[in-house]
Chain A
Amino acid sequence: MRRYRNSRALGYPDRPVGDPWVNKEPYTDGAQRVVAERNPFFWQVDQEGKQLPYIDRVNFSISQDVESLMIDAVSGRLDMQDRHITTLQNKPTLAKNAKAGAYRLIELVSSGAQQVQIYLNITHKDPRMREMFANKEFRQVLSLGINRGEIIELVYLGQSEPYQTGPRPVHP
């Protein structure tokens, strides 16, 4: 696998792809940015038959850490950003600077049904633990015993709601 760890080996922008994006300027050592252009032959279309992706070219600047990415975000230097900075802890800062930075926040519906699930090891090595975890009533009691409201207040700053592991209402 050595050759794939070699950053130069990743940098083959001529390699044809079937993906929506062609990596024109790869993420290699010393790169200042990463550039992707739309694959003009990409096979997927939208519901009206228009070829995807819509955007011709995307430039990603390379941030050294999340703090510098946050500075870029609040000063309005990014067109769009989701990863790394969209935490609840950052939300007040992002909201406060939206006007000055001339950007807006949009709410995304998470594709995950849940933030956290607890799965008990029902094949536990200790037969007594195994028997207890296999007991449905035990698991129901454990579920009832978890104070979801308190966790939501303390960890999710009140921005969540109690939910079981199951499909979201918007799922088809």
Chain B
Amino acid sequence: MKWSDGHDLGADDIVFAVEDCAKNSEPYKSTPSPLVISNQPGTVTKIDDATVKFTVAAPYAMFLEMLATPLGQHPTLFAKHYCSQFHPKYNLKVADLVMAANLSD
């Protein structure tokens, strides 16, 4: 599976999109509700390049169905190879980009 620019879409992207973006209170006021069960955001870890493991705090019978709906988009929303350039964890000079783009944050 590939992103629209031809880069492989893999486990690193899913972990990045969930752990660094969806669960990050800077871009998101709170973790998107499809990823939250029993008031706790789920956790995703990489098993290998094509396998991830989601761990949630309580039984989540509709989890797979949720992933197949439009609101299940978050785990595949951010391509790490591109979006990490805007993430302070991966780019210490992200403030320079903000300034160069004449944005406030």
Interface residues of chain A, those whose CB is within 8 Å of chain B, are: 1-4, 6, 8-9, 14-19, 22, 39-43
Q: B4 touching A22 by the CB < 8 A rule?
A: yes
Identify which of B44-52, B54-62, B76-84 touches chain A: B76-84
A162 to chain B, nearest CB (A): 30
Give the interface SS of chain B, mostly helix, strand, loop or mixed: loop
Q: B103 touching A18 by the CB < 8 A rule?
A: no
Interface residue? B93 (CB, 8 A): no
Residues of B with C-beta under 8 A to A39: 4
Q: How far, in whole Å, are A2 and B104 apart by their CA atoms in the complex?
A: 9
Q: Which of A4, A16, A17, A42: most chain B CB closer than 10 A? A: A16
B42 to chain A, nearest CB (A): 20
Could you pull out 23 A-B pairs where Cβ atoms are within 8 angstroms? A1-B28, A2-B104, A3-B105, A4-B27, A6-B103, A8-B101, A9-B103, A14-B82, A16-B3, A16-B4, A16-B79, A16-B82, A17-B4, A18-B1, A18-B4, A19-B4, A22-B4, A39-B4, A40-B4, A41-B3, A41-B4, A41-B6, A43-B1
B contacts with A, residue count (CB < 8 A): 20
Residue of B nearest to A23 (CB): B4
Encode B1-27 as 1/0 by CB contact (under 8 A) with A. Answer: 111111101000000000000000001
Residue of B nearest to A42 (CB): B4
Q: Which of B3, B76, B83, B101: most chain A CB closer than 10 A? A: B3
Residues of B with C-beta under 8 A to A4: 27
Q: A2 touching B4 by the CB < 8 A rule?
A: no
Residue of B nearest to A41 (CB): B2
Q: How far, in whole Å, are A2 and B6 apart by their CA atoms in the complex?
A: 31
Q: How far, in whole Å, are A40 and B6 apart by their CA atoms in the complex?
A: 8
Closest 9 CB pairs between A and B?
A16-B3, A41-B2, A16-B79, A39-B4, A16-B5, A18-B76, A22-B4, A17-B4, A16-B4
Q: B103 touching A8 by the CB < 8 A rule?
A: yes
**A2 with B105: in contact, given A15-B83, A16-B7, A17-B3 (CB under 8 Å)?**
yes
Q: How far, in whole Å, are A17 and B81 apart by their CA atoms in the complex?
A: 12
A70 to chain B, nearest CB (A): 28
- Interface positions of B from 63 to 105, Cβ below 8 Å from A: 76, 79, 81-83, 101, 103-105
Residue of A nearest to B1 (CB): A43
Q: How far, in whole Å, are A18 and B28 apart by their CA atoms in the complex?
A: 20
Q: Which of A4, A8, A41: most chain B CB closer than 10 A? A: A41
B73 to chain A, nearest CB (A): 9
Q: A3 touching B27 by the CB < 8 A rule?
A: yes
Q: B3 touching A3 by the CB < 8 A rule?
A: no
